[in-house]
Amino acid sequence: MNDLVRQHTALGESDLEWLHLLVSEWQLLSDLSFADLVLWVPTLDGTRYVSVAQMRPNTGPTSYQDDMVGHLVPRGRRPLLDAALDEGRIVREGDPEWREEVPVRVESIPVRREGRVLGVIARNTNLLTVRTPSRLELTYLQSASDLAQMIAAGSFPYPGQQVDMDASPRVGDGLIRLDAEGVVTYASPNALSAYHRLGLASDLVGQHLGNTTAELAPSRGPVDEALVKLASGWAPRETEVEGNSGVIQLRAIPLKPKGTRIGSLVLCRDVTELRRRERELITKDATIREIHHRVKNNLQTVAALLRLQSRRMDSPQGREALNEAVRRVGSIAIVHETLSQNLDERVEFDEIADRVIAMVSEISPGKVDCRRIGRFGILDAEVATPLSMVLTEILQNALEHAFTQGERGTVEVAAIRTGTGRTDGRLLITVLDDGSGLPEGFDPQRAGNLGLQIVRTLVEGELGGTFDMVRAEPRGTKVVLDIPSSPQK
């Protein structure tokens, strides 16, 4: 719509925003009218109309099989559009049109804003299935007529009340018509069922909706006057009401077809099951986070026990082996700590990598600067946990064997993400040091070092990637990991 309005018409940005507000609301008018709506706006030179938006009803058959958006029609071809635009009134004259052997009643509703007519809504009703209307259909049509008059007068939609139609109640969910005093004159079967879910034992018709709703909603204090006013339809608002193990969503729309409030429409929707599932998901998420938190605490306890045991060891080799185990356990604990703070099983691995680098740097015998460049990005927990252990082993190996006591040096961790999707991406990780380098004849694929065995097993077995360790130029060692960025099935 933005492109069509800016290309073909003289409307400004504020007028365009008004049209957006109208289009966000007009599913309501379409459903109440059982009719298709097409929004026509006069072109810049005033010789044609351009259709900028279209809506089909959920309550009846469509009159248009084709998409009308973008069509241009010269003035004079559709007299009802001309009359509505020029005279600023709703035009219903004329006989039904025949479209592919289907009779269609056409009406034109001017769209007014601040005294100016911006365009015209063509309301097209398929008459093929017309029959004697029921009470529900008569209420729908009368409500549609009131809304059409408000659009023509520029009093609907309500400024600042743009509605999310995916989340708000719709006409078919339940409709209640109120008089000027807030008393129910009609309630659709779905609306009555929703109120029965709240605990209502009688009919709604003849009752003051605001007082009835407030009585059904549990309250420890005085009657909620704000809820009474909202359910009475005094202002365009939305709310949820909970009572008797049921939850309903209400949306009030005051009706002022001639400038004076004559009543209101209240749309209601039973959202009990939806809210129950949401609460279950919230409980599940909280449980998962609590599990990760407890796992993290247990791992930290294990690390503390190993640290305590290492202090009691007389053998330097045994003490160092336990300290390495402490760091391995710590790297897993970092992942679980991060997972305990998230709503899903995914983590921002850059933070984890930085904490692993800081943890392993404590063992450096020299003055070695460890840093990260590039971004790992967000990873699934199934990738993050083994990758944190792999990174710990590689960094630990570099700091222990590449530098001597007091020697200065640098260890650089670089990460590059490739691929655009979550399932087809890969992660290329390079750990480069400028230390003493690999000894002659060293084969990383066969070395018996426990740390390298862990790296090979995790990279090739769990992560489904490749691992290599080569001499760097002019000196040092380069470790290259190429792994999928998502878990392998």
pTM comes to 0.67
Tell the residue number behind the tokens 């259909």, with chain if given: 137
Q: What is the C-alpha R_g of the chain?
A: 35
Find the mean pLDDT for residues 277-302: 86
| Structural contact between residues 210 and 266, judged by C-beta atoms closer than 8 angstroms | no
Find the mean pLDDT for residues 227-253: 91
| Structural contact between residues 487 and 380, judged by C-beta atoms closer than 8 angstroms | yes
Q: pLDDT band at residue 317, thresholds of 50, 70 and 90?
A: confident
pLDDT higher than 70, residue 420: no
pLDDT higher than 90, residue 482: yes
Find the mean pLDDT for residues 149-175: 86
Q: pLDDT band at residue 223, thresholds of 50, 70 and 90?
A: low
Neighbours of 90 (CB within 10 A): 20
Q: pLDDT band at residue 129, thresholds of 50, 70 and 90?
A: confident
Which tokens is 12 given? 């400004």
User: How far is it, in rounded angstroms, from Cα 267 to Cα 178?
Assistant: 11
Q: Rounded to 5 degrees, what are φ and ψ at 325?
A: -65, -35
Neighbours of 364 (CB within 10 A): 20
